[in-house]
């Protein structure tokens, strides 16, 4: 079996991407953020207080003939940006791009934090990290990918995220039409449940490639690229008027600045992020100060290869044993 679905940016600066997912019988369609940085599939639901729902689509288990309450199970998750949610669990039929799983744990939110209420384009998350990160207790649940595995033609899913455009997620196959040349693979460690791997080095603009292994997580659920301070200062040293603002919590610069590209290595392969991806957004609609798409990871304790980096490549998340991750040009 295979599946293929759209990855649609939810705003004009690609803060996140959502994918249509159908849940239950008859199918209820929700727009979920497919997130390789977590492993809970949770949705706004009929159990979410109406005061916390603002425009999101909801899953109503009572309207599904195939829903089953997973008795006595609860979950609670906190994300890197401080947002969170918690609730109960149903098993139901769930499909992404034509690929169906009969009994997927669907975590129904009974409480969501305000940033989720405010994000009306996001009806929930589909975690595609390793199932060890799942927060359902007393027994943790499997991700959609882990449930789908036995029926997949190939034990992979791919991410083709695009800059200011709709891309795609494919399950069970690697679409030759979506990339050029060869796929450069590198080893993944499942610790502690993320797609953790290393970069073989980096270059700022046309500068020399610095060969140094940088470990981090490829995370479709994180907007920006977070790397060590040494790398980030080397980058912004090339940007007129750039400064690390305490006020804005990161590197900002005049929107008129010309930015260098940023290149990262996956083993012998090199991937260049265009300057436009790093000129992330104005700090306010009328401001001439812009916020960088490359920021320091020093406060995070981990380097995060988020969407700013991932959208510069075609990425293969391979659930083989051992797992590996592949990057190709597109």
Ligand X SMILES: CC(C)(C)S(=O)(=O)N[C@@H](Cc1ccccc1)C(=O)N[C@@H](Cc1c[nH]c[nH+]1)C(=O)N[C@@H](CC1CCCCC1)C(O)(O)C(F)(F)C(=O)NCCN1CCOCC1
Nearer to ligand X, 25 or 215 (CB): 215
| Chain residue whose CB lies nearest ligand X | 37
Told to check if 114 binds ligand X by CB under 6 A, we report no
- Residues in contact with 302: Cβ distance below 8 Å, sequence separation at least 6, in sequence order: 194, 216, 217, 226
Told to check if 14 binds ligand X by CB under 6 A, we report no
Told to check if 79 binds ligand X by CB under 6 A, we report yes
Told to check if 83 binds ligand X by CB under 6 A, we report yes
Selected binder of ligand X within 24, 37, 87, 167 (CB under 6 A) = 37
- Measured from the CB of residue 137, what is the shortest distance to ligand X in angstroms? 12
Q: Active-site residue 92, yes or no?
A: no
Phi, psi of 202 (to 5 degrees): -155, 165
Q: Measured at the alpha carbon of residue 87, what is the angle toward residues 94 and 70, in degrees to the nearest 5? A: 55
Applying the rule CB under 6 A, the residues between 120 and 149 that interact with ligand X are 133, 135
Told to check if 85 binds ligand X by CB under 6 A, we report no
Selected binder of ligand X within 5, 7, 16, 34 (CB under 6 A) = 16
Q: Active-site residue 219, yes or no?
A: yes
273 forms bridges with which residues in the sheet?
A: 262
- Measured from the CB of residue 79, what is the shortest distance to ligand X in angstroms? 4
Instruction: Give dist(CA 218, CA 309) in Å, integer.
Output: 9
Encoded tokens for 59:
């899953």
- Measured from the CB of residue 8, what is the shortest distance to ligand X in angstroms? 13
Sheet arrangement for strand 250-254: 243-245, 250-254, 289-292, 279-282
Q: Which of the residues 33, 40, 92, 219 is marked catalytic?
A: 219
User: What Å distances lie between residue 22 and 15, 199, 245, CA to CA?
Assistant: 23, 36, 42
- Window 231-270: contact mask with ligand X (x via CB under 6 A): ----------------------------------------
Is the bond preceding 228 in cis, omega lying within 30 degrees of 0? no
Selected binder of ligand X within 38, 85, 117, 279 (CB under 6 A) = 38
Nearer to ligand X, 63 or 276 (CB): 276
Told to check if 196 binds ligand X by CB under 6 A, we report no
Selected binder of ligand X within 25, 29, 114, 115 (CB under 6 A) = 115
Told to check if 55 binds ligand X by CB under 6 A, we report no
Encoded tokens for 148:
């789908």
Phi, psi of 151 (to 5 degrees): -100, -5
Told to check if 222 binds ligand X by CB under 6 A, we report yes
From the list 152, 63, 75, 146, the residue with the least C-alpha distance to 106 is 75
Indicate the SS3 state at residue 141.
Answer: coil
User: What Å distances lie between residue 244 and 108, 237, 255, 291, 296, CA to CA?
Assistant: 40, 11, 15, 10, 9
Told to check if 84 binds ligand X by CB under 6 A, we report no
What is the CB-side half-sphere exposure of residue 230 using CA atoms within 13 A?
6
User: Count of residues binding ligand X (CB under 6 A)?
Assistant: 21
Nearer to ligand X, 136 or 269 (CB): 136
Sign of CA dihedral 176, 179, 180, 182: negative
Told to check if 153 binds ligand X by CB under 6 A, we report no
Instruction: Give dist(CA 166, CA 224) in Å, integer.
Output: 18
Annotated catalytic residues are: 35, 219
Which chain residues interact with ligand X by CB under 6 A? 15-16, 33, 35, 37-38, 77, 79-81, 83, 115, 119, 133, 135, 219, 221-224, 300
């Amino acid at each position: 079996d295979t599946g293929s679905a759209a990855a649609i940016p939810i705003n004009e600066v690609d803060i996140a991407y959502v994918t249509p997912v159908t849940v239950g019988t008859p199918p209820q369609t929700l727009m979920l953020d497919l997130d390789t940085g977590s492993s809970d599939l949770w949705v706004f639901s009929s159990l979410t207080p109406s005061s916390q729902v603002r425009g999101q689509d909801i899953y109503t288990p009572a309207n599904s003939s195939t829903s089953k309450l997973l008795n006595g199970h609860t979950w609670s998750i906190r994300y890197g940006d401080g947002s969170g949610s918690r609730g109960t669990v149903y098993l139901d039929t769930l499909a992404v791009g034509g690929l169906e799983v009969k009994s997927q744990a669907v975590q129904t939110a009974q409480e969501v934090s305000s940033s989720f209420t405010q994000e009306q384009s996001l009806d929930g998350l589909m975690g595609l990290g390793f199932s060890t990160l799942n927060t359902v207790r007393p027994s943790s649940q499997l991700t959609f990918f882990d449930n789908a595995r036995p029926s997949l033609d190939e034990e992979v899913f791919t991410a083709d995220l695009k800059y200011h455009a709709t891309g795609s997620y494919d399950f069970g196959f690697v679409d030759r039409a979506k990339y050029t040349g060869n796929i450069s693979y590198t080893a993944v460690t499942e610790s502690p449940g993320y797609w953790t791997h290393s970069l073989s080095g980096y270059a700022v603009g046309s500068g020399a490639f610095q060969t140094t292994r940088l470990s981090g997580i490829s995370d479709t659920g994180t907007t920006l690229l977070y790397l060590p301070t040494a790398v980030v200062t080397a980058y912004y040293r090339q940007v007129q008027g750039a400064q690390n603002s305490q006020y804005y919590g990161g590197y900002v610069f005049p929107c008129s600045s010309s930015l260098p590209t940023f290149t990262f290595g996956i083993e012998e392969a090199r991937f260049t992020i265009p300057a436009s991806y790093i000129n992330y957004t104005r700090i306010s609609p009328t401001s001439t100060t812009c916020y960088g798409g490359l920021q320091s990871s020093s406060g995070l304790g981990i380097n995060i290869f988020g969407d700013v980096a991932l959208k510069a490549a075609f990425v293969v998340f391979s659930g083989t044993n051992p797992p590996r991750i592949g990057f190709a040009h597109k």
